Each structure stands twice: as C-alpha cells, then as structure tokens.
Structure 1
C-alpha cells in the first residue's frame, strides 16, 4: 500500500504575519493622528482668534491672548491682568443683558435728554407723580389720569394744571418736537360728547397740548396730539388697579433725528 506524501512547507513568512503587519500599520497611523491633533499650530490658532475677535468683540486678538513661548501650546491672558478680583462679584450687581442691549441701541442724544429730564423732575419734586422711560424714539413722561382728569372728563382739574405747569419750564430747555398721547382703559365710553374711548383719549391729549400752548407759550409748531383709546395698554385690563395704570397721558419728547426723518428724503 502506497504511503501518503507530506506537503512541503511553503517558503517565507506565515500567513498571519500579513494581518499582523496591517494591524500595526493602522495602530501607528492612529497614534500619529492623535499626536498631530494634540500639537497647536500657532499660525492656525491666531487665525481662529482673529476670526473670533472680528465676530465678537472688535478688538485686537493680540490684546486678548499672547503666546507664552512654551512648546506645549499654553497661552496666557495678559491684557486683563489678574481675574481673581472678579471672584466676589455678586450676580445681583450685574446689569441685566436686556438693559445693556437696550442702552446700546438708544442714541446718545436720548440718554443725555433723559438725564436732563430726570434732574428736572427731582428739582421740581415730580418723581411721585410722573413715570419716565426712554427708547430710540425719545423720552416719555407718563402722567396718570387721576392727576390730570376726573373719570370720563377731558377737562384738566386743578392738580392737572399744576403738574403741567411744573413741566412747562422743562420744554424751554430744548426745541425738540413734543407729542401728547392720550390712553384709556377698556371700559366702553358712550355718551353725547365721547361716543367712544377714541374721542376721550384724543380730547384729553388736546387739552394738555392747548394748556401748554395757551398758558405757557410753548411753540405750537412743536406740538401735536394723538389718541389711542384702549388699544395700547401697559398692563392687562384685568383689575381695577391695572385699568387705572392704563388711563394715562404720555408727553413724548421726540429725538431730533426722528423729527428730521419725518421731513422725507432730501432732494
């Protein structure tokens, strides 16, 4: 019976070595990739910093960060010094973001005007009777109905005449346009003189306007009146107190740029 011959061993490395070498190559590539990611490119870093500077704060990137010279990619903040002094700052001392944003959008002229009006109110002792506010359009002097008028009336009462008289000197300090705005609550008005809240709000505004012009000689060309009825409440008309807040007259000292814009484009 013939014997089976053994197969001769193939020359060269074992077959598993090919798989092993591929695995080692992949591992080497992986570690090289990790190393390359850990090295900070100064040129690339400054490009990114410059882009952030342009997008966020508008100042030089060199003022924000400075390379320390270390090869491990450390960066040092220099422009702002020791930040430890800010550790004890109370969050309540920080100005709300909304307030900062609003202040940034209000023209400088309006801020100056608001300061002038505020100082005038303090000197005249009107802080308890009047609420001040401001926006891009100008400064708003808010006077509640109870000071100016009796319910359902557009005739200035004694306290109303005194308050408007105290304000009249303020309007001599500048020549801005002045808009008097009347507002009511949502309780329907219906009588022979005032068929609706529209008429009541307009006539109240006109009463204040005429008093300024006729009694204190405020230039009529600076004055205008508007009535909004119940349609622009400052708070919901859902309680007696809220309705009282909505019955008011606003005297708007208009920002000069807005007045110029209303004249239309130059030819």
Structure 2
C-alpha cells in the first residue's frame, strides 16, 4: 500500500529551482555580451573623428623621426610658413580601348598628434624669433648705457635680462630713483609694452649689513629698489600691473665675490627679467 502512494505522488520532470537557475544564466550571458559590445572599437568612426580634429586645427601633417637631432634655429621663421607644395602630377595616359581607367589613390590617414607637434614647433620658433628681435631693439635703444657699463643685457632662449647697476641709478643705501635713469627706464618701458609675457623686477644688494631709520636690512632695501623700478615701468598704464612680479633677494644671489669692492658694486643691482 505504501508503494502505491509513493508512486502516485512522485514529481514528473526537472525540479522547479532549475527555472530560476536558467533565468539567471540567461541574464549573465546577456550582461557579458553587452560588455563585449562596449569594448569593441569602431575603426571607421575613430578615423572620422581624427579627420574632423585635423580639419578643425588647420595644421599640416608631419612625420616624427625616432631620436631626432636637436633643433637649431639659425634664422627667424615666418609665421605663415608652409611645407613645400608638391609638383603637379600629369594624369596617366590611357589607350583607346574602353574601360581602361586607373583607380584613384587612397588619401593618407591624418595623425592629430603629429599635427599638434608641428604647430608647437612653429609657435616655439616664432617666439624665439620675436625674443631675439626684442633683444636687438633693446640693445640699440640702450647702446650708450651698455657701453658705459651701467646696464647689462643678456638673452638666453626666450628670456631677456636687463641688469641695472646701482651706480647712477640709486643713492647709496637708498631706493629713490635718480634723474638720469628715468629716461632709460622710459625707453625700456616703450619696448616692453609692445611684447607679451611676465616681467620680473628683482632687487639685489651686496653683503654689507645696513640698518637705517627707513630700511632695517638689505631685504627691505632690495625690495624697495625693485618696487621703485616697477612703478616707473607702470607709468602711463602701457604695462599693466598683472604682468609684473616684484621681489627682493638682498645678498642671496651674488654675481661676483663680495670680498672686493668691484664684486660688491656688481652685486648691487636691479634686474628686469622678461620671460616669453
């Protein structure tokens, strides 16, 4: 009797939990297929984006060379320099037989990275040429002061440094500009107003200690002299204050040894540094 009851209540087919398990496996399969579709790159679409970027930049394609030689600029480059245009190619001759045509050549793929590199090189060359021209203009304008050894002019890369010595510029131990140096600073202001970039005015002294009613140390004296030169450069509003950086270094950055008077005289200076 018990055998008949067990046979009548037996379950037919797979257990019910298999339905839930099958649904779970199907969902996991769809999830991984979706991830695979996201990771696949459309080459044609990427090529279209690269060509669009090249057209918007408006620069030409160059070829990068592994381990290129150092760049040496021997003369200023024009701002609108272009690569030499290739000579026109004559169309190929065809015979009289029909259906004899030559398929057009495929355009080369553009590389936005090389285009940006070419633009950066052209910009650096143009700024280098402008810096050299500015240094030459300053040298011509300050010829007498340079010959008299009251001003030193140095040009290195895209940085120009004008060193104004204390002699003839400031009274000993004071930061008030003397009358002869004001026209010199006016000529410097005229040249720098037509340029771009930051202008740093830095004051320097020798190592002889100073303590007066107005200046407690060489730090205050060097800073006050730099401020006096900066105010003179801002006269008339041709050079905005946002371009200027004023600093005082006391005797921390000497050009010569302070053991002799000649070295101390060279260390007492105000530098105008133009960074392009």
Which bracket does the TM-score occupy, shorter chain normalised? Answer: 0.5 to 0.7
1:149-187 Cα offsets, whole Å, 9 max, x none, are 011010000112122112111112212211100000000
1:106-149 Cα offsets, whole Å, 9 max, x none, are x6434641442223321443432321123456211111011310
Q: Could you tell me which residue of structure 2 aligns to residue 241 of structure 1?
A: 262
Which of 197, 207, 219 is the equivalent residue of 2:228? 207
Q: Could you tell me which residue of structure 2 aligns to residue 180 of structure 1?
A: 201
SS at match of 2:167: helix
Which of 144, 147, 172 is the equivalent residue of 1:151? 172
Q: Which ranges in structure 2 are unaligned for 5 or more consecutive residues?
A: 1-65, 71-123
Which of 93, 96, 117 is the equivalent residue of 2:135? 117
Q: Which ranges in structure 1 are unaligned for 5 or more consecutive residues?
A: 1-53, 59-106, 256-267
Q: Kindly indicate whether the alpha-carbon contact (under 8 Å) linking 2:169 and 2:180 is maintained by their aligned counterparts in 1.
A: yes
Q: Kindly indicate whether the alpha-carbon contact (under 8 Å) linking 1:110 and 1:138 is maintained by their aligned counterparts in 2.
A: no
Greater mean alpha carbon deviation, residues 181-190 or residues 134-143: 134-143
Normalised TM-score (structure 2): 0.51
- Whichever structure has more helix as a proportion of its residues is 1
In 2, Cα distance between the equivalents of 1:174 and 1:206?
Answer: 21
In 1, Cα distance between the equivalents of 2:69 and 2:246?
Answer: 43
Q: Could you tell me which residue of structure 2 aligns to residue 127 of structure 1?
A: 146
Normalised TM-score (structure 1): 0.53
Within 5 A, what are the aligned runs for 1:162-181? Answer: 162-181=183-202
Computed over aligned residues only, the root mean square deviation of the Cα atoms, in angstroms, reads: 2.4
Question: Shift in Å at residue 57 of structure 1?
Answer: 5.6
Question: Shift in Å at residue 240 of structure 1?
Answer: 0.7
Q: Kindly indicate whether the alpha-carbon contact (under 8 Å) linking 1:185 and 1:230 is maintained by their aligned counterparts in 2.
A: yes
Within 5 A, what are the aligned runs for 1:215-230? Answer: 215=236, 217-230=238-251
1:16-44 Cα offsets, whole Å, 9 max, x none, are xxxxxxxxxxxxxxxxxxxxxxxxxxxxx
| Structure 1 residues 171 and 55: alpha-carbon distance in aligned structure 2, compared to 1, 3 A threshold | closer
In 1, Cα distance between the equivalents of 2:158 and 2:203?
Answer: 17
Within 5 A, what are the aligned runs for 1:1-267? Answer: 108=125, 109-110=127-128, 112-125=130-143, 126-128=145-147, 129-135=150-156, 138-215=159-236, 217-255=238-276
